Amino acid sequence: MVRVGIVNVTGYAGAETARILARHPAVQLVTVTGRSAVGQALSSVFPHLADLALTVAEDLDDVEVAISALPHHASAERIPQLVERGVRVIDISADYRLHDVAVYERWYGPHPSPGLLDEVPYGLPELHRPAIAAARLVANPGCYPTAAILALAPVAAHIEPQVIVDAKSGVSGAGRSLSLTVHYSEINENCHAYGINGHRHQPEIEQELNALRLWSAAAAPLDVTFVPHLVPMTRGILATCYARLVAGWTQPRLLAHYREFYQHAPFVRVVEAPPQTKQTLGSNYCLVFPRLDERTGRLLVVAAIDNLVKGAAGQAVQNLNLMLGLPETTGLDALALYP
């Protein structure tokens, strides 16, 4: 059994990682940290994790791999010490996702440890499997970018530069910390757009889709308009993406192309009806529905994920499996909950 630790189990992403690892057959979760719960039994903070019989510690014990679920900045302050100790790390925060430090600093402010940026693969297994398997530090993608990139990656080199990503998220995407926006009486029976003047996940979507365009002759960079919305549900992201394909596509060709692109991706399902967030609840699947509107010639792709699983903890465990040379699906076989 490989010894694994979680840095910051007290947030939603950390707790969800612990839930998945509790049933992982090849790793043992041996240590968890969490600033507000040091010294407390994990079962008293999260009764659903009682099987783990762990006490929340101030620092990680001896582990081979750590999954960090700290907020950005706090993560990049902590991770270099772990990497220096020889611990392989998966970072669920945004700190190592953007390859260009100037782009990072435009959206997040000064980077606490930019020295590691050059070596860190973007941890979307469907695009970067070999680099993830070999890495000592992997940057787990953001939740919205996971849905948007998986929706558009197969056609990234075949579309015109103007792209729109209209996405909806459940409130767990905002984390466990309290704020007025996620107060029950504010979000219940309500729905609103936010980040209208720019959202931090937009450069991540552009970075990955533009990398897929590099080899293409039509390679003007994509210009992505990304508008997130908050909806009154706990989990789930639905991303509806709009673009224009260059000539020569039909719906059957589009579907066959998506199926071929994802033929070796166990967690991406290309579906023939618009997916619903509930169809992914608690699972690591991403459901992708590509559709060519023959009346307008517009491409429409809808993707659904659970933001805490494929959008965070499940994807971190998928990356962990790759880093350990295990089958990518190990410990991630849960089907979605229904209803």
Ligand X SMILES: NC(=O)c1ccc[n+]([C@@H]2O[C@H](COP(=O)([O-])OP(=O)(O)OC[C@H]3O[C@@H](n4cnc5c(N)ncnc54)[C@H](OP(=O)(O)O)[C@@H]3O)[C@@H](O)[C@H]2O)c1
- Asked whether position 176 contacts ligand X by CB under 6 A, the answer is yes
* Closest residue to ligand X using C-beta atoms: 11
- Asked whether position 34 contacts ligand X by CB under 6 A, the answer is yes
Query: Minimum distance from CB of 5 to ligand X (Å)?
Result: 15
If one counts every other C-beta atom within 10 angstroms of the C-beta of residue 253, the result is 12
Query: Minimum distance from CB of 286 to ligand X (Å)?
Result: 14
> Distance between terminal CA atoms of the chain?
35
CA distance 166 to 225: 8
Stretch that binds ligand X, among 8-16, 47-55, 154-162, 223-231 (CB under 6 A): 8-16
x/- letters, 67..96, toward ligand X (CB under 6 A): --xxxx-x-----------------xxx--
Query: Minimum distance from CB of 75 to ligand X (Å)?
Result: 6
Token digits for 239? 């991303």
286 annotated active-site? no
Query: Minimum distance from CB of 211 to ligand X (Å)?
Result: 20
Query: Minimum distance from CB of 174 to ligand X (Å)?
Result: 7
Write down the H helix ranges in the chain: 12-21, 42-45, 74-84, 101-108, 125-134, 143-152, 184-187, 202-213, 251-261, 314-323
Closest CA to 211 of 323, 307, 322, 100: 100
Strand 237-244 and strand 298-305: the pairing is antiparallel
CA distance 65 to 88: 5
Dihedral over alpha carbons 113, 99, 323, 148 (to 10 degrees): 130
Peptide bond into 339 cis (omega under 30): yes
C-alpha dihedral sign at 73, 118, 124, 261:
positive
- Asked whether position 311 contacts ligand X by CB under 6 A, the answer is yes
Q: 94-153: which residues touch ligand X (CB under 6 A)? A: 94, 142-143
Identify which of residues 143 and 243 has a Cβ nearer to ligand X in the complex.
Answer: 143
The one among 5, 6, 11, 165 contacting ligand X by CB under 6 A: 11
x/- letters, 272..291, toward ligand X (CB under 6 A): --------------------
- Asked whether position 321 contacts ligand X by CB under 6 A, the answer is no
Residues forming contacts to ligand X in the complex (CB under 6 A) are 8, 10-14, 34-37, 69-72, 74, 92-94, 142-143, 172-173, 175-177, 307-308, 311-312
Positions marked catalytic: 143
